Structure 1
């Protein structure tokens, strides 16, 4: 076959495919790949490099140059096994970026980035190869294709390419910024971007990034939703393309097209199109590959941390192995990454590798609540190979006998949980197995029970969250042996649809305690119903408070409403904090527990003992220490009839500013200090008059908050201590209003079980109902003994 050309070109691009390789059986005789001793020669079953034809260039002066077309090099069959691409040819389709709308991220997670091929056919595949012309300066008369094998080769097309570079080879991914002729609310809807020899992997807008303002912001480490720069004047595009490529920008409103020669675009200078006033520039073309280390300033030893690098434009640059665009949906991402609002972060073990642009970049480093969050401007030099970052402590509560823990974490592998805990300054992560309908999480980790970091400072303990969509949620932490099952009952949403109410939550809490675990009511104020029965019956030992930001009057008090009612009935319940982490939108330990171990060795058993003893505080940032007449939370103070005056002392320190510290007596604020402009430290002493039995605690708050989660729940920056208990001989702490509230909750939960629950067998149902009746009867008897009439309002 001969094709006339009559022109010059640097590359001859062929679209082609060949036949399939015959099977190992031929004429009924099996072909053995390595032969059979004494009977046959080895058989080439793959025929790699088999010359199928020669492409012969015929120049105007009659000279000929031949180039081989080989199987698995320049060509392949139209369908091949996975990962059997030829060496110097590419398929006729491209792997394209495809994302998912934000609302789909929440429902089912984003599509995996750069993995979906939107135009890939099932078959056939046509292979494209670019044969280099050995003498591109000479005119060619024709191209001859001559067969060199009995196996067939199909030539589908020929394109002559006059550029100097192989058109099938693309340069590394580059970020381009296009300046549009006018600002728009959503440039990606009006403007379409395409490149002829390459792939546009992403187009997007960036929120404004003011470096000096960012460096001085008070909410370091929290992450933020940043205001959009509407109308947008710039469109950003990530492109991998040939240096010979042409970038096309189409205005879908006017139909006008702007074209740019990408090979002419340089760093630091805008290139105008071949006409008109749109401009494009490449950002950060000069880059260096760095080996980084994060060290603690005091010891100069590597330490795990959470960090983020940003370009001059504010674009997140992840360390190698981390996601550039984190998927925040539940169940979708187990990697050590984080996205809070618009800010992404990576968890590193103290060392990392990263490719950074030469010039100015910005870094943010955090490590939990006891380290100074750090933001810095860095200057990256050409040829630089190493980068050292430092982070410093402002306090060390572990050295003073405190241990910090997250009581409520989901969807992490235990080893990743260790890394993230160390990077967030946590000692203990309670990784909870649970159920969402037919989905179960972390069940495969149950057999390990726990995993400890190499230095012994961090422990991941497997527990369960046992849930019901009406009756509430429990955290059953650290039970030995088999998990407490069932995880969820009586669907929908949490139990499987149609599943029976096999067990009450109070029974589950009792089973946990019998196995040596710690049973807690989860994430108050949400889901507090049957927990009231568990507290009255003595099977729940602590409450987990989640200080959600609720946009309504009195919302801060509402967070603690159920807990305060329990305390006002004389039930001694220490507080714990848990993040309820279910995706990369939430840092492990964003809401955490500090428990005082003193001289005890760190272990789960000693931590649980410390929680039961009651010297704890729950926090989303501030470190809050509290005492009454020298007594710490969990202790009791005895007073005579009529009460007396007590000296309270409170100290709060925080890595972000806080505004208000309060002293609470039986649910009421009896003293406070406020600094409206915010401060990192607050401390005061106050004399408080108490008139009878009760409890005293401290709490503090800030105007700042963590960015909202997918369910639009976000933590305010706050902390609350467990109570110091005031005892007056002969008097019982029992509030009529609080007791009535608990009785109504138990009555409501019992009503659900009797009327709407998907019932188990009659005897099992009666046993569950009996649990409510016994708890309600117990509280009623206390009211009767004190001649208190319940308030039903």
Structure 2
């Protein structure tokens, strides 16, 4: 049995795409994949493809005859009054799940909660995005190496927010997953809406990723690929990922023991070791590519369960050990007062954890020096954040490597600290090795 199974609702379809109006007929029909889940939306050869109902319609019943952990609906309102003063939360329908056990479970479908009209854009639209449903499209990464100048500001975010192209997806959780769902009764109670598809979830998981992104190391064990110029990317069907970034060649002791502390690290331009931050459901497939060539794929649930998963050409390792929100203060060791400086925080594996409001990578580690704005600088592999002596942000629990520099009169600090569970404060001390002002030398310009 497939982990997700579209229901055949063809016997109760009663409307074609014309029900959406003349200006909104470019919708997805036929066999579709929304957020990695399969749906059957009518037929792409024309004819009826939706269930269309409103308060004047009678209820309809969809035969199921299957057990499931979740039932996922692709549906939408045909119109909304919210922009013209209408209320949020108005009842639209009641979905009644009739179980073989004799029980009935009822779910209220409300405007802007479980259902909404499809927005005209990602940020506002006629009714905005619903609170308990998700868009049919995923977040997407921008093109890494190209883009339009007018999108320069948005490119700094690295991804485009998910929007609804055709429908919203809402998942019902079955209180009795071992019991067969005999039928689903749709009882309209308000404005006109459509149901485009219904899919049963047989996996014991929520079908939409609800956890934060987790740091994941990718080690390419195929020497032919590992030695190629860096061009790794990750695709996740039922979740999201960041860009992939190379990790330093010697991220731990080679970094802490290096002579030029506070002044960056040589770039790793190979494809041997990298990381991405991934948020996905357990059944998601994670695919790693070098350019257009697939290096390997794994199930995210196996990575979460085992910690490390190996394929013939690569190894994927979950490095997320939990994080603390930490307030950091950098002080002059003699005076005890905070001093402006530049800072870099990283895990022993080389994954950066820069202060809140600062980039982990300046300009996504590309060579476009003139685009980014803000108090950051990149020296080789390393991004530094300029701070006034204080900062805050997420740091991983366990060992953290810090790299701090302040001009030429202070000794750079590159050392290892430990972040304990519950720790919220960290103080770093910079030692002045010479005071040129005290020797009557002052900076100036003529």
Same fold (TM over 0.5): yes
Q: Does 1:271 align with 2:335?
A: no
Give the conservation status (yes or no) of the 8 Å contact 1:129–1:168.
no
Contact 2:78 2:193 in 1 (8 A): yes
Question: Residue 174 in 1 paired to residue 218 in 2?
Answer: no
Task: Give the match for residue 183 of structure 2.
Answer: 142
Matched, 1:129 2:170: yes
What is aligned with 1:98?
142
After TM superposition, list the pairs within 5 Å mapping 1:578-727 onto structure 2.
594-595=443-444, 611=445
Q: CA distance change for structure 1 residues 402 and 111 in 2, over 3 Å: closer, same or farther?
A: same
Q: Aligned residue for 2:103?
A: 63
- Partners of 2:255 and 2:265 within 8 A in 1: no
Matched, 1:163 2:222: no
Q: Which residue does the alignment assign to 1:381?
A: 420
Equivalent of 1:4 in 60, 63, 66: 63
List aligned pairs for 1:508-587, cutoff 5 A. none
| Worse-matched range after superposition: 14-23 or 83-92 | 14-23
- Output aligned runs, 1:690-769, within 5 Å: none
Deviations, residues 331-379 of structure 1 (Å, cap 9, x unaligned): 5333111112222101111111121222222111111111111110112
> In structure 1, what is the equivalent of residue 340 of structure 2?
304
Q: 1:377 to 1:193 in 2, by over 3 A?
A: same
Cα pair distance change 1:139/1:277, threshold 3 Å? farther
Distance 1:61 1:262 in 2: 31
Structure 1 CA distance, aligned partners of 2:349 and 2:245? Answer: 13
Tell me what 2:261 maps to. 220
Q: Which residue of 2 aligns with 1:234?
A: 273
Measured in 2, the distance between the counterparts of 1:307 and 1:381 equals 20
Q: For each residue in 1:35-91, what CA deviation from the matched residue of structure 2 results, as whole angstroms up to 9, or x when unmatched?
A: xxxxxxxxxx23211111111101113321110111000111122573421100111
CA offset at residue 300 of structure 1? 1.1
Contact 2:282 2:299 in 1 (8 A): no
Does the 8 Å contact 1:11/1:161 carry over to 2? yes
Give the alignment of 1:168-567 within 5 angstroms. 168-183=208-223, 184=225, 185-186=227-228, 189=231, 193-228=234-269, 230=270, 232-249=271-288, 258-262=297-301, 264-265=303-304, 269-272=307-310, 278-327=314-363, 329=368, 331-403=370-442
Contact between 2:288 and 2:296, CA under 8 Å: does it hold in 1? yes
Instruction: Note if 1:17 corresponds to 2:57.
Output: no
Aligned runs of 1:82-121 on 2, under 5 Å? 82-83=123-124, 84-101=128-145, 111-116=155-160
Aligned equivalents of 2:77, 2:420: Cα separation in 1: 50
Q: Which has the higher relative contact order, 1 or 2, with Cα contacts under 8 A spaced 6 or more apart?
A: 2
Q: Is the 8 A contact 1:57 1:66 kept in 2?
A: yes
Q: How far does residue 131 in structure 1 lie from its aligned partner after superposition? A: 1.4
Q: Root-mean-square deviation (CA), in Å?
A: 3.1
Count of equivalent residues: 376
Q: Find the counterpart in structure 1 of residue 52 from structure 2.
A: none
- Deviation (angstroms), 1:288: 1.8
Q: Secondary structure at the match of 1:271?
A: strand
Give the TM-score of the pair, scaled to structure 2. 0.75
**8 Å Cα contact 2:244/2:274 also seen in 1:** yes
Mark the CA change 1:75 to 1:195 in structure 2 (over 3 Å): closer, same or farther: same
Shift in alpha-carbon separation, 1:293–1:243, aligned structure 2, 3 A: farther
* Distance in 1 (alpha carbons) for counterparts of 2:310 and 2:153: 39
**Cα 1:387/1:253, change in 2 over 3 Å:** closer
Give the Cα separation in 1 of the matches to 2:281 and 2:180: 24
Q: How far has the Cα of 1:309 moved from its partner?
A: 0.9
- With over 3 angstroms needed to count, the CA separation of the structure-2 counterparts of 1:56 and 1:179, relative to structure 1, is same
Unaligned runs of 5+ in 2: 1-59
Contact preservation (8 Å) 1:110, 1:329: no
Q: Secondary structure at the match of 2:330?
A: strand
More helix as a share of residues: 1
Report the Cα distance in structure 2 between the residues aligned to 1:256 and 1:4, rounded to whole angstroms.
42
Tell me which residue corresponds to 1:749: none
Q: Distance in 1 between matches of 2:316 and 2:289?
A: 14
1:576-601 residue CA offsets vs partner (Å, 9 max, x unmatched): xxxxxxxxxxxxxxxxxx23xxxxxx
Equivalent position of 1:461 in the other structure: none
